[in-house]
Amino acid sequence: MLPNFCPIYIHQQFSFSGYPQNQSDKFFDQFFIGGQQPGKRGRGANGKTIVLAAVEKQGKKFGRIRLQVVPDCSGAVLEQFVSTNVTTGTTVITDGWKGYNFTLKAYTHHKIIASKTDDKSSILPGVHRIASLVKRLILGTFQGRFGPEHLQNYMDEYVFRFNRRKSRNIGKKFMRIAQQVTSSTKMTYKQILGGTSPYCLLAN
């Protein structure tokens, strides 16, 4: 029987580094995971975990995604996320959040300003679709319960599965995980249970 920390370790193997970037247009936004809390809503809400999302725009369809758990939506955090996942010359599509007002000289920045009457899900549809699917995963598979320290691992697994959703070769998916397990950096018991990982969390 596997020790109870083994599933956590395997979850951490869904994060891969060195995945090539491309110049597809990308939607960028954030969503929040956590139960309803009294007080402020949106980016300043308390008691919720922030997840940044990048979704490739391929005509009317969506391509690959990236998800990263972050402590806040400051300009420095957003800039790091964009620069890690976007190659020079890409069109970056965001909402009107002031945190995106960092230097985007290397990109084409398309800002969509939503009015109070706009349907929010229609502004950045790719991100809203992914946010809905991720929340459904949390509510269904994990029964709405998760440790914030392990949430990035769950996001990495979801990214791995979503980006390979059209692959018909299940064996290749398994072999990719097996390859990662056998070639990855050694992790300590404390790292596994604490949710920290030495791997890149963005390139799936």
> Does 188 map to a domain?
no
The model's pTM is 0.75
| CATH code for position 105 | 3.30.420.10
Q: How many domains are there within the chain? A: 1
Residue 196 resides in a domain: no
Per-residue pLDDT of 28-87, as tens digits, reads 999 998 765 555 555 555 668 999 999 998 888 889 999 999 999 888 898 889 888 888
In a domain, 1, yes or no: no
DSSP-derived letter for residue 35 is: -
Range of the domain at 141: 21-32+46-181
103: Cβ contacts below 8 Å, ≥ 6 apart: 79
Q: pLDDT per residue over 139-148, tens digit each?
A: 888 777 777 7
Residue 204 resides in a domain: no
Q: 5: Cβ–Cβ under 8 A, 6 or more apart, which residues?
A: 189, 192, 193
In-domain check, residue 3: no
